[in-house]
Amino acid sequence: MILEIILALFMGIIAGTFTGLMPGIHINLVAAIFLSATFLQLNIPIFLVLITSMAITHTFIDFIPSIFLGAPDEDTGLSTLPGHEFLLKGRGNHAVILTLIGSVSAILLLAFLAPLFIIFVPVIYPFLNRMLGWAILWIAIFLILTEKSSKLKATLIFFLAGFLGLSSLNLPIKDPLIPLLTGLFGTSTIIFSVKTKTKIPPQKNEKFYINKKELIKPTVATILVSPICALFPGLGSSQAAIIGSTLMGKLSKEQFLILIGSVNTLIMALSFVVLFTIQKNRTGIAAIVSQITILNLSSLKLILITVFLSTILLIPLTIFISKTFSNNIHKINYSKLSFLILIFLIIIVFIFSKFLGILVLFASTLLGLLCIELGVRRSFLMGCLLIPTIIYYLPI
C-alpha cells in the first residue's frame, strides 16, 4: 500500500508537471480522465494522493509557460505581464522563483489556516454568502477610483471586459474561460510581442535575494483574501490577487508575483478543506474528489500530508524546469516560437470550445490588445469575471 501511495504521488507530480507546462491542458481534464479510467482500478486513498499531488504540482508549474512563453491559464493570466517584464530584463527565472516563494508560503499558511477553516467556516459561511456581492462591488469601485493614469479608460476596459465575460459565460460552450482568458492575457500578449519585434535577451542566472520585509504584504493579502475566494465559486486566483493587491495598497512587481503564486496554490489546497467542512466544490478537482468519496477527517489528513510531501519535491523540480527554460529561451527564435504557441492556443480553444470559442478568443484578444494600447493596467480585464460574479452574488 505504501509503495502504491508513493507511486501515486510521483505519478501525480508527473501529470501535474505536464498540465502545468502545456498551455490549455487543464488539470480538471486530466483528473476526469483518471476518474473515468476504470482500468487503473485505483482505490480511494491512492486516487486522492494522485489527484492532490497533480493539482498542487499544477499550481507550482503553471507559471513557467505564463512567464517564459506568455501562454497563461485561467489562474496565471495576471502573472503574464509582470512575468514578461522580468523576462525582457533577463530575469524570467527570478519571476518564476518569486511565484515559487508564493506557492511555498501558501503551503506554510495552509498549516495555520486549515484548522481555523474546520472550526469557523461552517459558522461564517452563511454571513459571507450574503455580503460577498457588495464586497466585490466595493472592490471594483475602489479599483477604478485608485487608478492613477486614466479612470475613464480603465472604466471603459472594465465594463467592456464585463460585457465580454457575461456574453461568453452565457454561450453554450464547454470551458468558456479557456478562450476568454487565453485571449485577454495570452494571445494578446503574444501578438503584441510579435508586433513590437520583442527579442528575448540571454537570461541571467543571478543569485536570488529577497528582503524578508517584501514578504509581509503578499502574505497578509493571501491570508485575507484566499479563504474568501476558496469559499465561493466564480472567485479564482486572479480575482483573489486583484482583491488582495487592492486591499494592501501598492505592491511591487515582485510582491505581486509572490501574491499570485501564493493565492493560486492556497485556493487549490483550501478547496479540499472546504469540501470537508461544508461539502461544497470550489475547484474542479474538489468536484472530482466529491464524485468518488465523501471526505472524512482521515482522508483530509491524507490529502494534507500529500500536499506537504509534494511541496518538498516541487521546490527543486520547479527550479530545475525554470532554469532549463531560462538557459535556452534566448536561443529560440521568439517570433517563430510565439507564432507556434499562437497556433497551438487556437487549436486548443477549438478542441475545447469549437467555433464559438474561437469567436470568444477573437473578441478577448482584441480587448487585451486594446488594453495594452490604451496603457491601462491589465487587472481591469478581470472585469470579465468580477462583473458576472457581482451580478451573481448581489441579492437583487
At closest approach, how far in Å is the CB of 370 from other proteins?
A: 5
Overall size of the chain counted in residues = 396
Q: How far is the CB of 307 from other proteins (least distance, A)?
A: 24
33, 192, 295, 333 from 200: Cα distances, Å: 37, 14, 47, 9
Q: What is the 3-state secondary structure (H, E, C) of 225-265?
A: HHHHHHHCCCCCHHHHHHHHHHHHCCCCHHHHHHHHHHHHH
Q: Which is nearer to other proteins, 172 or 316 (CB)?
A: 172
Nearest approach in angstroms of CB 384 to other proteins is 10
Instruction: Compute the least distance from the CB of residue 362 to other proteins, in Å.
Output: 6
d(CA 387, CA 77): 17
Minimum distance from CB of 361 to other proteins (Å)? 10
* Type of residue numbered 85: E
Q: What's the min distance (Å) between Cβ of 382 and other proteins?
A: 16
Q: Minimum Å distance from CB 127 to other proteins? A: 18
Specify the residue, 138 or 355, whose C-beta has the smaller distance to other proteins.
355
| 184 secondary structure, DSSP code | I
C-beta closer to other proteins: residue 36 or 298: 36
- Stated as kind and residue range, the H or E segment containing 87 is helix 80-88
Q: Which of 34, 339 has the CB closer to other proteins? A: 34
Footprint of other proteins (CB under 8 A): 32, 35-36, 38, 160, 163-164, 166-168, 170-172, 291, 356, 359-360, 362-363, 366-367, 369-370, 373-374
How far apart, in whole angstroms, are the C-alpha atoms of residue 375 and residue 377? 7
Distance CA(60)–CA(62), nearest Å, equals 6
Return the DSSP state at 69.
T
In whole angstroms, give the CA distance from residue 157 to residue 136.
Answer: 17
Nearer to other proteins, 144 or 359 (CB): 359
> For residues 333 and 155, what is the distance between their CA atoms, to the nearest angstrom?
37
Among 395, 390, 393, 388, CA closest to 171: 388
